[in-house]
Chains A and B, each alone.
Chain A
C-alpha cells in the first residue's frame, strides 16, 4: 500500500472533527438526530475547509446502523462501505468531469429506484460549479421533489456560478476559512498523534501560509516530514516551504523604502539564491506594502492585525512611520505593473530587477497643496511684494492692494474705470468695451475706443509723417473755414474726411449697398462742398454707378449740408487715411496687442516666469472677444 498523505488520512469522520465549522456541524447533527433532514444541501466555501468531508460524514450519519447522537459510528457495514467508496447507494459524482446533460439524465433515471441496502440513496455532486447550464436545468425538477429515499449534496468552491434556481432548492451552508489559532491547535494535535515534532511557531507559520485551508496546511506538514522524517526545525520548515523568514523580509522591504539600491539588489539576489519564487516574492511584497498602508490608515492596534505576531506588527509600524502613503501607493503601482509584465516577458527576473530599481529611484511625490505652499514660501523669500500673496488669496475683495507699482500705474493710466476689476477680467472687459465703442454712433468717441493710451488717438494724428499730418490739419481747417451754409443739422461739426471712419460707418448703417462701397473708399479731397472719393485699390469708379452715387450724395447731404456733392476719383488713390475696413482691422490688431500685453504683464504670469526660472512665453492665445 502506498503512502497516503495526511490530508486524506486525517479526513474527519465525525461532525465534531470539522475544524472551524462548529455552527454547521451542530446544525447538521441536530438535523440528523431530530430526523428533519432536508433533501438537498449545498456546501460552499474555499478550498480545504471541509466541504467534501462534511458531505461524507452526513451521508454516513444518515445511513449508519448505530448512530451515536447523530454522528456515524464508523464501524457498521454501511459506514465502512461508504468510507471505502464502495456503497451501492452512495454516488460521489465528479461534476467537473461528468458535467454534460447525458450524465444528469442518467442520474435522473436512477433516482427513482429504491436503495439497495442503505436507508437513503445519497448523491454527492462535488465541484458542482462545473455542471453545464443544461445539466443544471435538467436537474431542477428532481432536485426540488426527489423521491423520499434520495438526498442530494452539492459541494462547490464557486457558488456564484450556480443558477439561482439551484441554490433556492438547497439548504445552503457556507463554510468559513479555518481561523489561524484553531488550525494551529489542530495541527499540534496531529503532530502529537503522528509522533512528529514540529514547534508551535512553525505550525503557526504553516497555518498562516495556508490561508484558511486545512488541506494546504496538512500538505505542507506532509512535505516537511517527507524531507526531515519525524522532526523538523523551524529553519527547515521555512526552507522547504519556500517561506521568507521575517528578518530578511523586513530587511528587503526596508532597503526598498529607504531607497538603497545596492542593498535592495543584494537582498533580492539572496532571496533568489535561496530559491524563492519570483511570483511568490512579488505577491508577498504586494501584501506587505498593503499592510504598511493599512497600518498608516488604521493604526497598529486594529483587529485587522490580530493574526500577525507582535514582532511583525512592530516592524511594520516602524517601517510605516518612515514613509508616506503616497509613496507606498507609488510602490504598489509599480509592483502591480510588474505583475502584468512578468506574465509576458521571458525574463521575469530582469523585469523584477527593473521594477526594484525603479522603486528605489522614486522621487517623492509632492501633492498640489504642498506645491502651493512651496510657491508661497519662495515668493516670501524673494521679498517681492509680500502682499501679493494675500492678493492672490483674496483677489475678489482686496482690489486696492497695490500690485507692482509700474504695472499699477499703467493700468490706472490706461483705463482708470477698470481699476476695480479682477485682473483676469480686465482684458476681457476692455475688449468688449472697445467693440461696443466701435459700433458706437458718435464719431467723437472713436478715438477713445482705441485701447492703449500711448498710441490711442484718432487715425490722423497717428500718422508717422509730420508733413502729411500738417497737410491734413490744413485740410481740416480748409474745411471748417470753407464751411458752406450748413443748416442746423445735428451733424454740425461733422467733417467727412477728418472723421471719415465714423462717417463711413454711419453711411454703412443707413444703406448696406452703399456701405459695401464706402467701406473700401477714402476721401481724396473735401473742398468747396465737393467730396471726392476714391478706392485705394484702384477699382474703376464706374463700378459705383450713377444710381449709387446719387444715393450716396443724398445721404452725405443729410450729414454735411444740402449742397455737398460727391464725386469719384479714377485710379489708384494714395491716401494716408484709412478706409473703414482698414480701420476695423487696425483696431482689432490694437485690441489684440493690448490684450496680449495685458496677459503677459499679468501679475500671475510674471510670478510663474519668476518661479520657473528660464521659462519664457512662447505664445499667447486669446479667446475671441
Chain B
C-alpha cells in the first residue's frame, strides 16, 4: 500500500510527503490518534517509500523490498509490539541493539513501536538516549493512541503527527473496500467505529447486529417480560469469550449519546442511529436528561469495574436494573 492510498488522513500524509521531498526526515516520528484510522498503515507505507527500489516519491507496492516490508520479512524493518500487556525492557534492548547495526541492504532502517502506550517505566526510559541520537539513516516511529500516555521526555524527542478520526463516508468507503458486507452491516460497523474503520469487527458483525437489536429493542420496551429475557441474555453476553459485554456497553453508550443529542434538539443527521429515529424519539420521552447523563456515567463505571475484574453478569444486570429505575414511563 502506498502513501497515496491511505484514505482520510490527507493532512498527515501531506506532512510526511513534504518532509520526504524536503529531505528533512527526522529520526523519530510520533503518530498519534484513535485506533483504526490508518496509523500503522501509514508507517508501513512510509517504510516502503523510503526503501522502494523504484526510487519514486511513493511506494510502488510491488518491488521486492515493498513486498518484504509489507510482510515484515525485510531485514531492515522491525515492528515491536507489546508482549503480553507491556512492551518490555528486553524487547526494547533487543530492538536497540538491532538498530545500532548498519543497514543490511536498505537505505533506511525503520523501527516501529506499535501500541507505544504500553511502555512501562523501564522500557520507556531505556530508549530515551537512542531516541534522541539514533545512528544515522534510521527512523523510529512510535504509534500511540494518546500522547499523554507517554513520558514527556519521549514526546519532546519526536516530531508529532496527529491522525484524525475518519468521516462517516470515509469509513464506509474503507470498509466497503476491505470487507464483503451488506450495506446495513456496513452502517452498523460505521456507527460502532465512531470515527475508526473497524474492519477487524467484520467477522462479528452478525453478532453485533443481534446484540444491538435486542438491546435497543428492550430499551424501547422496558416491560417486565422484556427485562426478564434481557437478564437471561445478559448471562450469555457476560460469559462469552468474545467479550460481547464490550459490544453491549458500546451499543448503550452510542444510544444514550443519541438520546442526549435528541433532547438537545441537535441536527438529526449527526445521530449514530439516524435510521432509528422513531425509536429514539420514543425512548427519549422515557428518560430525563439528568438520568441520561447519569446512566452514561454508570456505563463508564461499569466498564471500569468489569476491567477491574468485577463479576460481569452482576455488573450488567445492575445496569439493567438502574435503567429500569431511571425510566419514567
Contact = CB atoms under 8 A, between A and B. Distances in A.
Interface string A1-38: 11101001000000000000000000000000000000
Contacts of A351: 253, 296, 300
Contact of B122 (A96, A228, A242, A360): A96
Given A345-B303, A357-B261, A226 B129 contact: no
Contacts of B18: 226-229
A422 B297 CA distance: 46
Contacts of B167: 273
Contacts of B296: 351, 354
B156 A97 contact: no
B307 A344 contact: yes
A163 interface: no
Nearest to A92: B129
Interface string A333-350: 000010011111111111
A97 B260 contact: no
B159 to A, nearest CB: 5
A227 B15 contact: yes
A40 interface: no
A599 to B, nearest CB: 32
A230 B257 CA distance: 46
A349 B15 contact: no
A97 B266 contact: no
**B92, B126, B307: which has the most chain A beta carbons within 10 Å?**
B126
Interface string B31-57: 011110000000000000000000000
A475 interface: no
Given A97-B129, A226-B159, A346-B250, A46 B152 contact: yes
A557 B312 CA distance: 79
Contact of B266 (A5, A262, A277, A346): A262
Given A3-B26, A127-B128, A272-B165, A358 B293 contact: yes
Contacts of A1: 136
Contacts of A219: 26, 156-160
Contacts of A242: 160, 162
A341 B300 contact: yes
Nearest to B247: A346
B27 interface: yes
B246 interface: yes
A349 B27 CA distance: 31
B148 A279 contact: yes
B92 A277 contact: no
Given A96-B129, A97-B96, A345-B300, A279 B25 contact: no
A347 B253 contact: yes
A265 interface: yes
Main SS class of interface, B: helix
B298 to A, nearest CB: 11
B194 A127 contact: no
Given A344-B300, A344-B303, A361-B289, A94 B157 contact: no
B253 A345 contact: yes
Given A127-B128, A219-B157, A350 B257 contact: yes
B19 A226 contact: yes
Contacts of B266: 261-262, 265
B14 interface: yes
Contacts of B256: 354
A226 B22 contact: yes
A48 B156 contact: yes
Contact of A261 (B157, B165, B264): B264
**B25, B130, B148, B158: which has the most chain A beta carbons within 10 Å?**
B148
A213 B132 CA distance: 14
B164 interface: yes
Contacts of B127: 96-97
A358 B260 CA distance: 9
A344 B304 contact: yes
A340 to B, nearest CB: 8
B23 interface: yes
Contacts, number: 178
A345 B136 CA distance: 40
Interface residues of B, number: 71
A357 B264 contact: yes
A119 interface: no
Given A226-B25, A265-B266, A347 B254 contact: yes
B13 to A, nearest CB: 12
B125 interface: yes
Contact of A2 (B12, B35, B137): B137
B146 interface: yes
A223 interface: yes
Contacts of A348: 34
Interface in A207-234: 213, 215-216, 219, 222-223, 225-229
Given A219-B156, A261-B264, A346-B250, A354 B129 contact: no
Contacts of B250: 346-347
A225 B267 CA distance: 40
B82 interface: no
B35 A279 contact: no
Interface in A483-498: none
B292 to A, nearest CB: 8
Contacts of B92: 97
Contact of B156 (A213, A225, A274, A360): A213
A192 interface: no
A354 B24 contact: no
B24 A3 contact: yes
Interface in B229-256: 246, 250, 253-254, 256
Contacts of A349: 34, 165, 194-195
Given A96-B125, A219-B156, A346-B35, A361 B300 contact: no
A548 to B, nearest CB: 62
A251 interface: no
B93 interface: yes
A5 B26 contact: yes
Contacts of B293: 354, 357-358, 361
Contacts of A213: 152, 156
Given A3-B24, A97-B126, A353-B260, 8 more contacts: A1-B136, A127-B129, A226-B159, A261-B266, A275-B12, A279-B146, A354-B256, A357-B260
Top 3 nearest A-B pairs (CB, nearest first) are A96-B125, A226-B24, A275-B164
25 contacts: A3-B26, A47-B153, A94-B126, A97-B127, A126-B128, A130-B121, A157-B153, A219-B156, A219-B158, A219-B160, A227-B14, A242-B160, A262-B266, A269-B270, A340-B300, A344-B303, A347-B254, A349-B195, A351-B300, A354-B256, A354-B257, A354-B260, A354-B296, A357-B293, A358-B293
Interface of B: 11-12, 14-15, 18-19, 22-27, 32-35, 89, 92-93, 96, 121-122, 125-130, 132-133, 136-137, 146-148, 152-153, 155-160, 162-165, 167, 194-195, 246, 250, 253-254, 256-257, 260-261, 264-267, 270, 289, 293, 296-297, 300, 303-304, 307
Interface of A: 1-3, 5, 8, 46-48, 52, 94, 96-97, 99, 126-127, 129-130, 157, 213, 215-216, 219, 222-223, 225-229, 239-242, 261-262, 265, 269, 272-280, 283, 337, 340-351, 353-354, 357-358, 360-361
